[in-house]
Amino acid sequence: MPDLQSPRGMEDLLPEDAAVWRHVRDIAEHVARLFDYGYISTPVVEDARVFLRTVGEESDIAQKEMYVFEDRGGDRMALRPEGTAAISRAYIEHGMGSRPQPVRLFYIGPFFRYDRPQAGRYRQLWQFGAECIGDASAAADAEIIELQHTLYQELGLPDLLLRINSIGTAETRARYTEALREHFRPHLESLSKDSQRRFETNILRILDSKEDAGHPAVTGAPSILDFLTEEDAAHFAAVQGYLGALGISYVVDPRVVRGLDYYARTVWEFEPPDAAGQSTVGAGGRYDGLMELLGGPATPAVGFATGIERIVLNLRRRELAPEEEAPVDVAMVPLGEAGPAAAMRLARALRAAGLAVRAGTPGRSLRAQLRAASNSNAAFAVILGDDEARDGVAQVKPLGADGEQLTVPFGSVADAIQRSW
């Protein structure tokens, strides 16, 4: 190991990884476009309060997973751990409440969580997300889920399991957590240490504990769905109605909860069927209370985020990840004294004609350069030495199985290559 390496949990993206990332990003942006979501990019660094106010001071994100630092001016800054709060900040700051509602936005970029890395979890992670802001209706929930569902369909991940739930409003959850507390209190002794801790910090999390999954107190716990108000229940039923109309399969799972406090009503997750470990590929929910936490007007909103690394992981597991970018069209092969300069000028002309051209390596033997050209998967080698430079021509050599090498005047090289396709 060299003594300098990338920070823990933050990975270099190498050229050989580029094809699959480009693939995912292209499809994500395409799907966003299909739904008329506009691209928004917010800073990677924000005033720490943007997140501290919204994710909940007590949440793990605020307590131990956020990169917080003081800048040179003494301001408390944070590397963004998630997208929704920052986008909400931008929505308020730019008065987007005065635009036609709802405002539909999508984003893609890196986020940061000071977590212990493991498979599918990183300290710098990329997320693609979409937010539909200013629409309280169940149709907006369905639209966001449909967008996310379409993304996975387009990517070739049609069998991700959609689990949905409603966690009601803040009042609902207050009544429910009180009921849970009463339910679990007599069983505390027999629950795992983690669950005992959760009993104090985030009691909802006991429900999806891995250790206590089979515990009778967990399996027999009351369901939040029984605590929903009439309005919440109607909203949830409407969402399910839309999903049914769209033919999107899902399961209602009352154990789906959210780590962040600002969620309300509909929440969901997409998971691979062979789920294990850090498996959630994407998750979303309604966050009607968030804007007010940031000092803005009460504004209903719903959105989702999906982890690019986790998408790539799933594509690779299924061998659906494209391995290579499109190969280069032309590899230049300059020889001799006059070849290199003439080859550079010819390469410029070819690029101007829209061809991708890899520069050669003057000084290397013809054999070595042709080997390299062949390895690069270039469609053509263009050989240019002293004789060619003198005569104003180049040798155009197809690198495929067959095809004849031609002597072509400079001005006709681009044409000759484009015609022979």
Partner RNA sequence: GUGGGUGUGGCCUAGCGGUUAGGGCGCCAGGUUGUGGCCCUGGAGAUCGUGGGUUCAAAUCCCAUCACCCACCCCA
Q: Enumerate binding residues for RNA (CB under 7 A).
A: 1, 3, 5, 7-9, 59-61, 65, 82, 113, 115-122, 125, 127, 194, 198, 202, 205, 209-211, 258-260, 269, 276-278, 280-283, 305-307, 309-310, 335-336, 364-368, 370-375, 383, 385-388, 395, 397-401, 405
Nearest approach, Cβ of 356 to RNA (angstroms)? 16
Nearest approach, Cβ of 299 to RNA (angstroms)? 20
Task: Give the DSSP letter of residue 263.
Answer: -
Nearest approach, Cβ of 95 to RNA (angstroms)? 27
Q: Please, which residue, 47 or 387, has the CB nearer to RNA?
A: 387
- As a whole number of Å, the end-to-end CA separation of the chain is 47
293 token code pair: 């936490």
CA distance 45 to 58: 21
**∠ CA 173-177-180 to the nearest 5 degrees?**
140
Nearest approach, Cβ of 174 to RNA (angstroms)? 18
E-state strands within 316-358: 330-334, 357-358
Q: Please, which residue, 19 or 366, has the CB nearer to RNA?
A: 366
Q: How many CA atoms lie within 13 A of 250 on its CB side?
A: 26
Do the Cβ atoms of 25 and 18 come closer than 8 Å?
no
Q: Please, which residue, 3 or 71, has the CB nearer to RNA?
A: 3
Nearest approach, Cβ of 7 to RNA (angstroms)? 7
Q: Please, which residue, 7 or 73, has the CB nearer to RNA?
A: 7
Rounded (10°) angle between helices 138-155 and 230-246: 40
Q: Please, which residue, 252 or 406, has the CB nearer to RNA?
A: 406
Q: Which residues contact 127 (CB under 8 A, 6 or more apart)?
A: 82, 83, 107, 108, 109, 111, 305, 306, 307, 308
Residues 190, 193, 194, 196: what is their CA dihedral angle, to the nearest 10 degrees? 60
Q: Please, which residue, 137 or 202, has the CB nearer to RNA?
A: 202
Nearest approach, Cβ of 373 to RNA (angstroms)? 7
